[in-house]
Amino acid sequence: MVPVIAIVGRPNVGKSTFFNKVAGRKISITENRPGVTRDRITADCEWRGRPFTLIDTGGLETKSDDFMWKQIALQANAAIDSADVILFFTDGREGLTSSDHDVAELLRRSGKPVVLAVNKVDDYSPDQVFEYYSLGLGEPYPVSAEHSRGIGDVLDAAVAYFPKGENPQSESLKIAVVGKPNAGKSSLVNRILGQERTIVTPIAGTTRDAVDTRFEQGGKSYTLIDTAGIRRKRSVEDDVEYYSVLRAFDAVRRADVVLLVVDCAEGLTEQDVRIIGYVHEQGKPSVVVMNKWDTIEKDTNTVLAFEKKLKEDLKFMGYFRSVYVSAKTGQRVDKILPLAGEVYAHACFRVPTGALNDLLLDAMRVSEPPSYNGKRMKMYFCTQPSVCPPLFVLMVNDETLLHFSYERYLENVIREAYDFSGTPIRIAVRSQKENGV
């Protein structure tokens, strides 16, 4: 495993700004108010040839009795426990506070190496950081995360604590968990991981960032990406929620597999269909996870009735795979990862060119393409140049002659011959004359 660096500190000292700068992209949502970051946010980073995992945490309010602040503190403490090095962030503009002393005491008790960063120091002078020596955590490093000043010094100090001879992690299967607010995404992630990795409350919108968690199970490596609930545009109330939704869509784009979590009690709603439609457009293999199955009164035909309704609502992606689970009780949750691996394997499958051409030429003999103005499409050959999603390119005499209905027919022929369940496939046509033949 690569070393882990956790960024901790009281609220609104610039932890997420620093995190985004080092990660090289805006992963954590930043806004000038406390409590925006709640869960642990992670990113794979590198400094001077040394790979590491960087963790952003919510602000520590050690003396607050508020439920949400307590949950944020639990997540921050979990990050501290898993870290090899801790970056303790303070605010150089506001100066040293009693909360900083409380956090410093917590970090001393952890026994972990601590690098002290004094952020928001835009014009450095030694007097600005002198008082921070009183924390007893060694030399304070002046930083301006917003203007990218002093970041290298802090990372140099952190990397110096890394053990020698660490190897980078192997690739893992990235699985994004998406859906409407309160569908049970975070509960499902926690159940799969067997730990309270993300904050769970009955309050819709608790999760804000896309939370990556890497783990191993059954000898395989996975990264679960818990995302904020995706509401309709007109229902998005503030900037934080707007950026949360953007992070969720970004998680879909960078995922290998997407889990759409649906509340069984509500059934598949119009918003659920929109979300899975976006997943389909992005060409991602997916699994429809019908959650809260424990709340449904059942008989021998209940699953069949739900499946029938899903097929009606998801006619545009008849290839979907589904699983009926309860994050609360753990029912069938163990089926999710194997199913995710299965649909990803289907997305990576490549049909041999010879077999593909035989299949489609036979299909065109059985059902000829429709003619247009007395001209009929002829296929010369077909190839599959790429996977994830599988792409099939047909070389024809005139690409304008391929009707949508016949394209659907060819797709069904391919799916009947090969198992591409759970993944979209793409069919493209090219005219010979456009390729200089």
Query: What percentage of residues in the chain have a pLDDT greater than 70?
Result: 83
Per residue in 194-240, pLDDT tens? Answer: 866 554 445 444 444 556 788 888 888 898 888 876 765 544 454 44
Both 390 and 362 in one domain: the answer is yes
Residue 164 counted as domain residue: no
- Do 142 and 184 fall within a single domain? no
At 272 the pLDDT is 87
Name the average pLDDT for the chain: 82
Residue 368 lies inside a defined structural domain of this protein: yes
* Residue 297 in domain: yes
**Residues 398, 429: Cα–Cα separation, whole Å:** 9
Residues 219 and 327 in one domain: yes
The Cα 279–Cα 68 span in angstroms is 31
Residue 334 and residue 395 share a domain: no
Domain hosting 198: range is: 173-347
pLDDT band at 357 (very low <50, low <70, confident <90, very high): very high
CA-to-CA distance for 361 and 366, rounded, in angstroms? 9
Specify whether 296 is located in the same domain as 332. Answer: yes
The owner of tokens 């960087």 is 54
Q: What is the CATH number of the domain that holds 398?
A: 3.30.300.20
Q: Do residues 106 and 59 touch, judged by C-beta distance below 8 A?
A: no
Whether 166 is in a domain gets the answer no
- Torsion sign (Cα): 322, 328, 332, 333: positive
What pLDDT, on the 0 to 100 scale, is given for residue 247?
A: 72
Residues 286, 287, 292, 296: is their CA dihedral positive or negative?
A: positive
Q: Are residues 183 and 148 in the same domain?
A: no
Question: Which of 128, 159, 190 is a domain's end point?
Answer: 159
Strand boundaries in 389-425, DSSP class E: 391-396
Flag whether 168 is in a domain: no
**Whole-number Å distance between alpha carbons of 66 and 360:** 64
d(C-alpha 360, C-alpha 379), whole Å = 9
pLDDT value of position 63? 57
Cα separation values, 142 from 124, 148, 149, Å:
7, 11, 8
Tell me, what CATH number does 307's domain have? 3.40.50.300
CB of 89 closer than 8 Å to CB of 19: no
Render pLDDT for 123-165 as a digit per residue (tens, 0 to 9): 777 777 888 888 888 889 999 988 888 899 999 999 998 876 5
Q: Say how many domains are in the chain.
A: 3
**Is pLDDT larger for residue 196 or for residue 379?**
379
Residues 128 and 194 in one domain: no
Mark whether 113 and 83 lie in a shared domain: yes
Asked whether residue 167 is domain-assigned, the answer is no
H or E segment and range at residue 109: helix 98-110
* Total residues belonging to the chain: 437
The β-bridge relationship of strands 375-376 and 371-372 is: antiparallel
For residue 165, being part of any structural domain is answered with no
Supply the pLDDT for residue 321: 95
45 located within any domain: yes
Domain end marker among 130, 159, 188: 159
**338 and 360 share a domain?**
no
Single out the residue of 51, 68, 50 nearest to residue 59, CA to CA: 68
